Amino acid sequence: MQKLYSQVTEMPHNSVGLLLGTSPKLKNGNNNLYFDYRIQATANLYKARKIDYILISGDKRRDDYNEPEEMKQALIRKGVPLQAIYLDYAGLRTLDSVVRAKLVFGQNKLTVISQKFHNERAIYLAERNGIEAIGFNADDVSAYAGFKTQLRELFARVKMFADLATGKKPRFLGEHFVIGKQGK
């Protein structure tokens, strides 16, 4: 079965899309193209009715840094209604985002939305945690612009295998909440 998709028209439907968080700006103040491309990909999937709800999972460790809120606002600007968006503020790492989608948000089947390299890792984590997952590949940045990210991804994959071998769990869990079944 195909796990990764790059064309909206080929994408199967899943109720929930898990949008993996990233910052809207780079450290130098420029726009983060990973953010922009993930937002566009998510809006395209939602408008094509390939997903019904969006779970944005990202980092909000500090009051001045809030990936889920920034992504929510960007999706609303793209025409995605607020009632279709759910936020997970404890997606500190990909492992946390994926496992919390199941344990906190009740998802056993979902579409992961990020760049291809990130989706590959997220889908592997999902499958190892009993989640049926497919990925939608947002556009990627150029090899030159994304060099640091690609290097970081190599280390993230090594860490992923260590986490799986040691049974690492998310840093935070929380109250169980099923997307689309409860009021917001």
Domains and CATH numbers, the chain: 4-166 (3.40.50.620)
> Taking residues 46-55, what's their average pLDDT?
98
pLDDT band at 68 (very low <50, low <70, confident <90, very high): very high
pTM over 0.95: no
Q: Is the pLDDT of residue 182 over 60?
A: no
Burial degree of 19 (CB within 10 A; 0-12, 13-18, 19+)? buried
pLDDT band at 167 (very low <50, low <70, confident <90, very high): confident
Q: Is the pLDDT of residue 95 over 90?
A: yes
> Taking residues 73-84, what's their average pLDDT?
98
- State how far the alpha carbon of 134 is from the alpha carbons of 2, 62, 88, 142, 148, in Å: 8, 31, 20, 24, 26
Structure tokens at 8: 């909206």
User: What are the DSSP calls for 42-91, one per residue?
Assistant: HHHHHHTTSEEEEEEE-B--BTTB-HHHHHHHHHHHTT--GGGEEEETB-
Q: Is the pLDDT of residue 184 over 60?
A: no
> Taking residues 23-42, what's their average pLDDT?
95
Q: To which residue do tokens 């260590």 refer?
A: 162
pLDDT band at 160 (very low <50, low <70, confident <90, very high): low
Say if CB 133 and CB 124 are below 8 A apart: no
* Helix, strand counts (H, E) of the chain: 5, 6
Q: Is the pLDDT of residue 62 over 90?
A: no
Structure tokens at 142: 């150029």
DSSP-assigned beta bridge partners for residue 115: 138
